[in-house]
Amino acid sequence: MSYVNKHLARTLEQQHKRSVRGLFLKIQDLNNECLLLRKRLEPHINLTQYKDAIAYVDQFVSYTSILNLKFVTNTQNLEVVVLHALLLEYMIEQESASNFDYELNLLHEYMQEILALNDHATTLFANHKEKMLRYIETQNI
């Protein structure tokens, strides 16, 4: 293999690594944004009323809870950020007050960014939303 081909292969590999690392950092940023949004909502809502939704999300969070998100394996995980956004959407939709309009708009912006990360995010949103609602229904029976 010529030097040019080896150099090209190495350059492409390094570019791919930077791209993947950038994706994980974007996921981490979105998880942090969701965390800040949830902390903004917490004084105005009763978290115990969402215990079933939180329990569903916690099934996919390793070693901790969505309420206390730690570890890179969680903060840089696409599925966790999707579930975090779904949990926030569920909480805001369950609240009757319209004073969460700003937060809902913020959340929709975050969701658009999450969906833009890759094609798999859309499928994750649809599947988990349906499963989470079904899980909450079965817990309330």
Q: For 43-58, what is each residue's pLDDT tens digit?
A: 989 999 999 999 999 9
Position 20 scores a pLDDT of 58
pTM, two decimal places = 0.84
Sequence-ordered list of residues with C-beta below 8 angstroms from that of 90, at least 6 positions apart, any chain: 50, 53, 132
pLDDT > 70: percent of the chain: 84
Position 21 scores a pLDDT of 64
For residues 118-141, give the mean pLDDT: 91
Cα–Cα distance, 82 to 61 (Å, whole number): 12
Reported confidence tier of residue 120, pLDDT bands at 50, 70, 90 = confident
Position 69 scores a pLDDT of 85
Residue 66 CB coordination number (10 Å):
24
- Tell whether the model's pLDDT for residue 13 goes beyond 70: no
Reported confidence tier of residue 82, pLDDT bands at 50, 70, 90 = very high
For residues 90-111, give the mean pLDDT: 88
Q: How far is CA 123 from CA 2, 28, 45, 79, in A?
A: 43, 20, 29, 10
- Tell whether the model's pLDDT for residue 59 goes beyond 90: yes
pLDDT > 90: percent of the chain: 56
